[in-house]
Amino acid sequence: MRYRDCPTVEVVERIATSPDAAWAAVCDISLPTRCGGELQFARWLDDATTPTVGARFEGVNRNEHLGEWTTTSTVVEVEPGRRWVWEVSEPTSLPWSQWGFEVDPLREGVVIRQWARIGPGRSGLNRAIDAMPEREGRIVEVRLAELAEAMRGNLDRLRSELE
């Protein structure tokens, strides 16, 4: 697995709630801060309050391997009630990652999907890859596992809040 291939990880959960409640919950950018993952704090920027294309938000992150850092994310896609996607990047760089939530209504409840794609822009992960290029596949695998664990925490929290 190579960073340049922009690998993706996805977590899916079926939750007994209404599509409207699920949508409101996945649009709350502070959700991950309540789940014990690396996002410690999030706030909308530029008077934004909800996901709309072009809206930006800031996140403060902490990870035992990567340290602490601040990111700026920009919403790049919104299908109201169904899907929203944001990119994490520096203003003049390619995205470090792209993230999304999707809500699919069922006869009873919803399926919520959270996914992340890393790359193609350089991120803190590239420092580890640069230092140990022969271990790139393992470094990427470990990072995707960390992201999947955090996303499982987010969806578990949604289940406990919504059911």
Domains of the chain: 3-38+77-162 (3.30.530.20)
Given the structure tokens 């993952």, which residue do they identify? 37
Task: Indicate yes or no: pTM above 0.95.
Answer: no
Q: For residue range 33-43, what is the model confidence (pLDDT) as tens digits?
A: 888 889 999 99
Q: For residue range 49-62, what is the model confidence (pLDDT) as tens digits?
A: 999 999 999 999 99
Q: Rounded CA gap, 69 and 60, in Å?
A: 6
CA distances from 69 to 31, 38, 39, 63, 130 (A): 18, 10, 10, 9, 19
